Chains A and B, each alone.
Chain A
Amino acid sequence: MLDQADGYVTADGRQIGPVVMEMQNITLRFGGVEAIKDISFDIREGEVRAIIGPNGAGKSSMLNVISGFYVPQEGQVLYKGAPRPSMKPFEVARQGIARTFQNIALFEGMSVLDNVMTGRLTHMKTGMFSQALWKGRAEAEETENREVAEKIIDFLEIQAIRKTPVARLPYGLKKRVELARALAAEPNLLLLDEPMAGMNVEEKEDMSRFILSMNDEFGTTIALIEHDMGVVMDLSDRVVVMDYGKKIGDGTPDEVRNNQDVIDAYLGVSHD
């Protein structure tokens, strides 16, 4: 049912667009270990796509393949219809892909605002020299980018910590700052690596609300990895389920929930 070229309509009535990224028969090996075995799926414009699976299922490896950090030994990744060559991280960023990390990777000594501003880097055209002098074009450019950064700070409700160094923030807020930085890049595709890991119920609810509003407000396409099933089922439009490097399910949350292989993977199989 998801084969139509021009997307589908979600349960809550959003129009999902054409395929943005397509994985074709991806296999990834580390020496003798096959982390991903022959997986294919796609990500469509405007959807929230989740990749779930038990520990060690290969979720993070999959995200790294999507982000271009790992190059699979077999299969290919199509981005906007074109096969993607091996790329440096900054080239990936220029393509409009932003991500957050499972273990937060922020500049600890810098303020929240400065961290969010680094997300604007790909949108700045003036050089280091003119930025240091802060004259003419560089000044105007900073103002424009600051405005975008401030809109995101407002959106994620982190105004109160705008000037606080990141090192002083609690974990849940750092996660939110990382999201702000990724969002500041105005990405076409946003990759979230376990956005809810280590959070309490309230923080998870906040984060879910932000992810949904982001998708709603900016139309950002989101691919996320998560092992909290409840959260994923509420958030996503379509879910890929992985187990031991293999794809064992793909579809809407309801389809996945009723898939016997998925139930077995999560709850175990009885051997009687």
Chain B
Amino acid sequence: MSKTSDGANGLVSVPALLYRNASEFGNAPAYREKEFGIWQSWTWSQTCEEVEALALGLLDLGVAEGDFIAVIGRNRPYLYWSMMAAQMVGAVPVPLYQDAAAEEMAYTLSHCGARFVIAGDQEQVDKVMEVQAELSDFEAMIYLDPRGLRKYDHSALTQYSAVQAAGRDKRSALEPEMKSRIAKLDYDSTCVMLYTSGTTGKPKGVVLSNRNVIETSKSSSEFDGLRQSDSILAYLPMAWVGDFIFSVGQALWTGFCTNCPESAETMHTDLREIGPTYYFAPPRVFETQLTNVMIRMEDASPFKKRLFDYFMGVARRVGPAILDGESVSASDRLLYNIGELMVYGPLKNTLGFSRVRVGYTAGEAIGPEIFDFYRSLGINLKQLYGQTEATVFITAQPDGQVRSDTVGVQCPGVELRIADNGEVFYRSPGVFVEYYKNADSTADTKDAEGWVATGDAGFIEESSGHLRIIDRAKDVGKMASGSMFAPKYVENKLKFFPNILEAVVFGNERDECTAFINIDLNAVGNWAERNNIAYASYQELAGHPEVVATIQSHVEEVNASVAQDEMLSDCQVHRFVVLHKQLDADDGELTRTQKVRRRIIEDKFSDIIDALYNGSTDVSTTTEVTYEDGRKGAISATLDIRSAAVRPVAQKMAAE
């Protein structure tokens, strides 16, 4: 605590940490990337040399202190180095979402006034070129993968390796300038700027200082006992704060190795090959993996299937207790060990989780069955709660105190406060500096004493001291009857069914709740295949009467469970539709981090919502869709409106 003013052990910036690692763990692997079928690896001292060469090259290009350098591309060591090199020359790296459309990029690039862009490949270069006329500050672009770019006008376009080569050539001339710029960096210098995905309105640029990043990396690494010998797989978007903290912050603090997959499609194979010891994934990834395992077990031979079912039963019964170090009878322990040999071990190996010591999930609520499945296998999967403004960590679950319905206790150095309306506030060394060029929003979010509003409603459980999150504070509303409306609570219950990928519940200031439901094409498609149900498209499958009937039974089960909750029993879903298209970030319906954007969905599908409330039995609608390459089209459909059985609120007393 006493180190906060002069930095943790005098290490006040990313370059300082890099130099420490290069001298302390010079020969240990720092970054790996699979390319050309083998893992290419760089030690800390090689990384340091690469970053310096690029930093010198950036100086040669004329990067000034305080410039913003946007970094766009998939997770690659070179792009992580780009961010470090930017910091070495006193510039601010701004990683952007690689799947963002050109117009979205135009907004962020012009908002921060990026002078330089480092792009991963032709696709990203094309997007920036498409909008560069609108960018008054933009000067030049650096690209990594030269494929397809040979014929481009190279007056403001340079290959990454050429920038490095220039840097190496002019090392003697430029080095003093680089050293003096590094020397000027202190704990309050800006480390990185990250754009929030923006569930509402335009993205905001969150400025994080070296203090934010280094203090958080230090305390979170200590919290989970991360070691220099750990390794992680970097596959989540580089623009997301979590990836920055894991793959740059914590990686530099503890000196562990960051591994980049060959491509997005090979992620699961690469995960298996690397076997990370520290792993992070949003619930969706765990869900998909579990669905895949279950689908494959359906096709396994009867003997294997029985073996799997039996030992998974054992694991569910005693696995979590063993993981938490509680006492378990000797016979159960023996059975679990046999299970480990026959089922859990090979399964973990297939999933790439053999070596996971610390695993986290966050971002959304995770289904209890999914969560317990992984924990029962002996994977130390935990939940954390965080946001960009907090440099990720607000609360996390300590080993041995893990449950699926809480998000844990406050991380070291974090103070929590619950406001009267239920909104969660926090204060910590990780609290962001400001929203760039947006003093109003900064003032709205962070008060003079440094307390930050999370925008989430929640409460602290008396018995355990763990935080529980109910919903986004602004989404929590009142129904016409005056009872509480918490859509996320119901949506999460719906989404815990493998057949349901996404759900959106409506009901604020209305008499009854209704819902939109997206089926999970993987799970439902597999079911259709096994039951000889033919379908040509997502739309056709989603509209199939048997599919709708299955979804209806899920909705009714959720209603039964919601009815048990005294506060929220009015949130039962009275009517629903299975949507004809998947909600998609390209259409603006989800954020880039796959969160539902309620207002936009309400506007876009207002005809369907009206139909849900006016008693019609079906609704014809036409929806505009955006294809991956940016072209637009339209799909039209007639959707069935189904009524689901609801439990009278009074009946909850009778129900067990």
Contact surface of A with B, Cβ cutoff 8 Å: 12-14, 113, 146-147, 150-151, 153-155, 157, 159-160, 162, 202, 205, 209, 212-213, 216-217
Residues of chain A lying within 8 A (CB to CB) of residue B37: 113, 146, 150, 153, 159, 162
Residues of chain A lying within 8 A (CB to CB) of residue B265: 159-160
Residues of chain A lying within 8 A (CB to CB) of residue B628: 202
* 13 further interface pairs, Cβ-Cβ under 8 Å (given A159-B265, A160-B269, A212-B148): A13-B151, A14-B151, A113-B37, A146-B37, A151-B36, A153-B36, A154-B36, A155-B147, A159-B37, A159-B262, A159-B263, A217-B147, A217-B148
A213–B266 Cα distance when bound, in Å, is 23
Min CB distance, A231 to chain B, in Å?
16
Residues of chain B lying within 8 A (CB to CB) of residue A213: 147-148
Residues of chain A lying within 8 A (CB to CB) of residue B148: 209, 212-213, 216-217
A14–B150 Cα distance when bound, in Å, is 11
Min CB distance, B212 to chain A, in Å?
36
A220–B263 Cα distance when bound, in Å, is 26
Q: Residue among A150, A160, A212 with the most chain B CB within 10 A?
A: A160
Residues of chain A lying within 8 A (CB to CB) of residue B150: 216-217
Residues of chain A lying within 8 A (CB to CB) of residue B415: none
Contact surface of B with A, Cβ cutoff 8 Å: 35-38, 147-148, 150-151, 262-263, 265-266, 269, 628-629
Residues of chain B lying within 8 A (CB to CB) of residue A160: 262-263, 265-266, 269
A177–B439 Cα distance when bound, in Å, is 54
Residues of chain B lying within 8 A (CB to CB) of residue A202: 628-629
Residues of chain B lying within 8 A (CB to CB) of residue A153: 36-37
Residues of chain B lying within 8 A (CB to CB) of residue A209: 148
Knowing A147-B36, A150-B37, A154-B36, the reply to whether A159 touches B266 (Cβ < 8 A) is: yes
A154–B37 Cα distance when bound, in Å, is 9
A264–B265 Cα distance when bound, in Å, is 46
Min CB distance, A62 to chain B, in Å?
29
Q: Which single residue of chain B is at the shortest CB-CB distance from A212?
A: B148
Q: Residue among A150, A153, A154 with the most chain B CB within 10 A?
A: A154
Min CB distance, A208 to chain B, in Å?
11
A157–B266 Cα distance when bound, in Å, is 11
Q: Which single residue of chain B is at the shortest CB-CB distance from A14?
A: B151
Min CB distance, A270 to chain B, in Å?
35
Q: Which single residue of chain B is at the shortest CB-CB distance from A209?
A: B148
A53–B147 Cα distance when bound, in Å, is 31
A12–B151 Cα distance when bound, in Å, is 8
A202–B628 Cα distance when bound, in Å, is 10
Min CB distance, A160 to chain B, in Å?
4
Min CB distance, A116 to chain B, in Å?
11
A160–B36 Cα distance when bound, in Å, is 12
What are some 23 contacts across the A-B interface (CB < 8 A)? A12-B151, A113-B37, A146-B37, A147-B36, A150-B36, A150-B37, A150-B38, A151-B36, A154-B35, A155-B147, A157-B263, A159-B37, A159-B262, A159-B263, A159-B265, A160-B263, A160-B266, A162-B37, A212-B148, A213-B147, A216-B151, A217-B147, A217-B150
Min CB distance, B70 to chain A, in Å?
24
Q: Which single residue of chain B is at the shortest CB-CB distance from A155?
A: B147
A113–B37 Cα distance when bound, in Å, is 10
Min CB distance, A102 to chain B, in Å?
26
Residues of chain A lying within 8 A (CB to CB) of residue B629: 202, 205
Q: Which single residue of chain A is at the shortest CB-CB distance from B34?
A: A159
- Complex A-B, nearest 8 residue pairs according to Cβ-Cβ distance, in ascending order: A160-B265, A150-B36, A150-B37, A160-B266, A159-B262, A213-B148, A216-B150, A159-B266
Q: Residue among B35, B38, B147, B266 with the most chain A CB within 10 A?
A: B147
Q: Which single residue of chain B is at the shortest CB-CB distance from A161?
A: B265
Q: Which single residue of chain A is at the shortest CB-CB distance from B38?
A: A150
A153–B269 Cα distance when bound, in Å, is 16
Min CB distance, A216 to chain B, in Å?
5
A202–B627 Cα distance when bound, in Å, is 10
Residues of chain B lying within 8 A (CB to CB) of residue A155: 147
Min CB distance, B274 to chain A, in Å?
15
A157–B265 Cα distance when bound, in Å, is 10
A162–B269 Cα distance when bound, in Å, is 11
Residues of chain B lying within 8 A (CB to CB) of residue A216: 148, 150-151
